């Protein structure tokens, strides 16, 4: 096992509303994702420290990128987020490790900066109750 950088993602794809897989890794400039677990405080008055139970798993992702309106690129993937209510498969892979999950994207925000840059942000959350797991 070796330490690695975050360079060279082999997969960063999101389904369009047509359920076709769109490889958008070339349009994405940065992203973050999380796989948190909820916890329940079950600390009794007889304890001097916190006692908790692990509860439901979750997933969230924040994608940021450069506007690209080519067929099957980022704009084609997200342009109908506001008008469709579909689950989209998100697949991430680096160094032979893959994380795939079903997400609902809640926004597709475009920004035209003062310098003329046209960028976007697309946040997504777990959709189907399946625990996200690396394979």
Domain boundaries in the chain? Answer: 11-42+49-126
Q: Which two tokens stand for residue 90?
A: 């998100």
Query: Using an 8 Å Cβ cutoff, are 61 and 90 in contact?
Result: yes
Instruction: Write out the DSSP string of 76-98.
Output: HHHTTTTT----EEEEEEETTEE
Percent of the chain's residues with pLDDT above 70 = 99
Query: pLDDT per residue over 42-66, tens digit each?
Result: 999 999 999 999 999 999 999 999 9
pTM for the model: 0.92
φ, ψ at 3 (rounded to 5°): -70, 145
3-state secondary structure of 108: coil
């Amino acid at each position: 096992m070796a330490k690695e950088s975050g360079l060279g993602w082999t997969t960063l794809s999101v389904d369009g509303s047509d359920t076709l897989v769109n490889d958008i890794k070339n349009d994405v400039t940065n992203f973050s994702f999380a796989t948190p677990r909820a916890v329940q405080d079950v600390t009794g008055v007889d304890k001097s420290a916190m006692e908790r139970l692990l509860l439901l798993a979750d997933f969230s992702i924040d994608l940021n990128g450069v506007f690209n309106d080519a067929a099957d690129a980022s704009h084609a993937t997200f342009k109908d987020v506001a008008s469709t209510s579909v689950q989209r498969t998100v697949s991430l892979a680096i160094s032979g490790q893959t994380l795939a999950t079903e997400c609902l994207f809640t926004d597709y925000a475009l920004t035209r900066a003062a310098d003329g840059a046209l960028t976007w942000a697309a946040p997504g959350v777990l959709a189907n109750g399946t625990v996200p797991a690396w394979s």
